[in-house]
Amino acid sequence: MLNWLGLWQKKAKIVFLGLDNAGKTTLLYMLKKGSAGQFDPTQQPCSHELKMGRIRFRTFDLGGHAQVRHTWREYYLTADGVVFLVDMSDPARFEESRKALADLLQAPELEGRPFLVLGNKIDKPDAADPHQALSGLQLSNRLVGKETDRVPQGVRPIEFFPCSVIRKQGYREGFQWLAKFL
């Protein structure tokens, strides 16, 4: 699975963040077990270990509701990269996602760390257009390009990939992009 994602022989701590109901737990279970199910909202941080081949990942499944976002810092302090999930089927929360993402991008502890932003749930009939999401998240002029494998000093690698975790679409390309910067 890690080879498929472009992470073979990479050692990194990646944190999965985003608002509640964005699909963080579903993505982690998809990566761990190859399938997903229905999950209750994450109430407390849960640690997950992904082991494939000789690679071990320690991941933390953190709740995304407003009351627990202040605890994210404890987990991202030693992160090598961030995967931030956005629910594309809930454009009414793009502003809330934008604020949470902006706080992370301004965190000094995450300076220079690559950010993979996954616009999840594109399979839903009410999913927003990717351009609408980029506008709502105010990311359009911050992206480095999907084909980029190097950025100038002082430029943070950040890219947006629309995806459907349930249908196993789009996130592979995102992880392959992220792997270039880890």
Domain boundaries, the chain: 2-179
Q: Is 58 left (phi over 0), alpha (psi -120 to 50) or beta?
A: beta
Q: Per the annotation, does 36 bind a ligand?
A: no
Q: Per the annotation, does 99 bind a ligand?
A: no
Q: Per the annotation, does 23 bind a ligand?
A: yes
Q: Per the annotation, does 123 bind a ligand?
A: yes
Q: Determine the Cα–Cα distance for residues 112 and 81; give it in Å rounded to an integer.
A: 9
Q: Per the annotation, does 121 bind a ligand?
A: yes
pLDDT for res 16:
87
Q: Determine the Cα–Cα distance for residues 138 and 104; give it in Å rounded to an integer.
A: 14
Q: Per the annotation, does 64 bind a ligand?
A: yes
For domain 2-179, the CATH superfamily is P-loop containing nucleotide triphosphate hydrolases (3.40.50.300)
pLDDT for res 61:
58
Geometric angle at alpha carbon 13, from 169 and 153, rounded to 5°: 90
The model's pTM is 0.86
Q: Per the annotation, does 25 bind a ligand?
A: yes
Read off the pLDDT of each residue in 164-181 and give the average, rounded to a whole number: 90
Confidence of residue 53 (pLDDT cuts 50, 70, 90): very low
